[in-house]
Amino acid sequence: MLTTGLKAWRFCTVFVVFLTVVGILGWRLVDLHVVDQAFLRKQGDVRTIRVETLDAHRGLITDRYGEPLAVSTPVQTLWANPSEVDPQDPRLTAASRLLGVSEARLRERLRQYADRQFIYLQRKLAPGLAREVMALEIPGFYSRREYQRFYPAGEVTAHVVGFTGIDERGQEGVELSYDDWLSGTVGSKRVLRDNRGRNIKDLSLIRDASPGRDLALSLDLRLQYLAYRELKAVVAAHQARGGTLVMLDVHTGEILAMVNQMSYNPNDRSQLSADRMRNKAVTDLFEPGSPMKPVAMAAALSTGKYHLSSTIDTSPGYRRFGRFTIRDTGNFGKVDLTTIIARSSNVGISKIANDIGGDVIRDLYFQLGLGQSTGIGFPGEAVGVLPAPPRWRPVEEATLSYGYGLSLNALQLAQAYMVLANGGIRYPLSLLRVETPPAGARILSETVTREVRDMLREAVANGTGRRAQPALYSAGGKTGTVHLVGKHGYEDSQYKAVFAGMAPIDNPKIVTVVAVDAPQAGEYYGGEVAAPVFSRVMGDALRLLDVKPKLELSGTVNSTGGQG
């Protein structure tokens, strides 16, 4: 009886335990499928639904006629989830060869970051190459579409357009200053992924990607190529340290060309250096020298104290201010105002400056834009130095009149000559295409600017700028040769050759400034180095712009003048 009772007790215990387990499992099934169904489905979705970004297309940069200067092309970026990749996978050999990386380094990276879920394999790959890698079907390898910036004109427009970084953000030039305008808005979408991280289905669009806005620059790519070719040639021919050329439309203030040497190729940055990246036309300052004489002459004519028939005695060809001596290249004697400009007489213009006073000249310089920003919004622009002493010393007035004691950039010098060229109106400078005629401010009278242009015509026809004469067109301008400034002041054997001018001189369309740094091949005067560049560039540019040739040379000064 005892044995039978014990067996019955054991049976009941096992049966109760069995029923309890079955009951618990049954309840759990009900709980999972009925009570917690919505919660569990949500948690499952969280683990399989992901938000994916949609890259935005960066805006196009073009020249004034729609020629592309910066475009974004679709590329593929390859990435990996190291936790899903077997570092011993034999297919990694082929992948490393396609990606152009060391196989050992690739396997080591996958082992090193095995606890991570994301590493870049290669960014900005050509779509065809990315497809070859993905065709290997290596678990844990993924690709996504991005955009890469390409610059069709390369080094020709590099200093103006600039470039972007790996993430399509502006780093230099227009790309940087107009980054917000050019950048699009990144979008996003919900996608369903499997347990290997592969997209199975696009579920919904959260926010569509908005492309960046296009930007039309004022540059004329034809003139840009022309200017770059000639500047590069003269720098090479004269073994110069570098150079700058700026070309403006005198009636709109638009920058038609802006080039520098040395340059760089934004599509290949392996040789990139800080010195090559500077847009020297706006970032580098220099004392302009003799090209400021026509501006100082305009200030004198505006006072009414001087007229074209006025004469100045420049004998004996020099002036002394204490220990400082101003010299001409010869004793020109008693000359008129036109001869002072044509022969680049320091003595003549300095006597006029001492008569009218430094404030008169300085005020005109300021009205023309010197000592202040040009307003084009270019990164790194230098405004220069325009002195304003409480009391002018005679030597300061003298040096100011022929371009020493102040500093400016090439674009500011071109802006000053633009006012002389268009009849006295200062228009705001623009690196963007101007859609409607800008409102300008009158700085000088038409009479004064016409008289100064006649002087500049003479400087090219018979003066220091004779080598600046373009074929088939009349022109006017002024040469300059200034000492470069080094660590210990002026460098005796280092010069900047400058020419600033306009054409056609009877009805100017374009102003061009050429500056060549430290020519080393013998010639170094502005009339020898910079003026011939002006001649070639302006002749070809006016033909490209369909300006009717009309060569009219006149002159009253027949003897050779001094070097400006």
Prior bond of 316 cis (ω within 30°): yes
> Residue 10 CA to chain centroid, in angstroms?
92
The tokens for 44 are: 């499952």
Contact by Cβ (8 Å): 347, 316: no
Element (H, E) at 22: helix 2-30
How does DSSP assign 243-260, residue by residue?
A: EEEEEEETTT-BEEEEEE
Prior bond of 262 cis (ω within 30°): yes
Separation of alpha carbons 353 and 11, rounded Å: 125
Separation of alpha carbons 17 and 331, rounded Å: 127
User: How does 59-74 read in b/e, with b if 16+ C-beta sit within 10 Å?
Assistant: bbbbbbeebebbbbee
Catalytic positions, written as ranges: 290
Helix, strand, or coil (residue 467): helix
Separation of alpha carbons 427 and 248, rounded Å: 11
Please name the residues in contact with 447: beta carbons below 8 A apart, sequence gap of 6 or more: none
Query: In this structure, are strands 68-80 and 141-150 parallel, antiparallel, or unpaired?
Result: antiparallel
Helix, strand, or coil (residue 233): helix
| E-assigned strand segments in 334-388 | 334-336
C-alpha closest to that of 521 among 542, 543, 498, 497: 497
The tokens for 394 are: 């005679």
Map tokens 């040639």 to a residue.
233
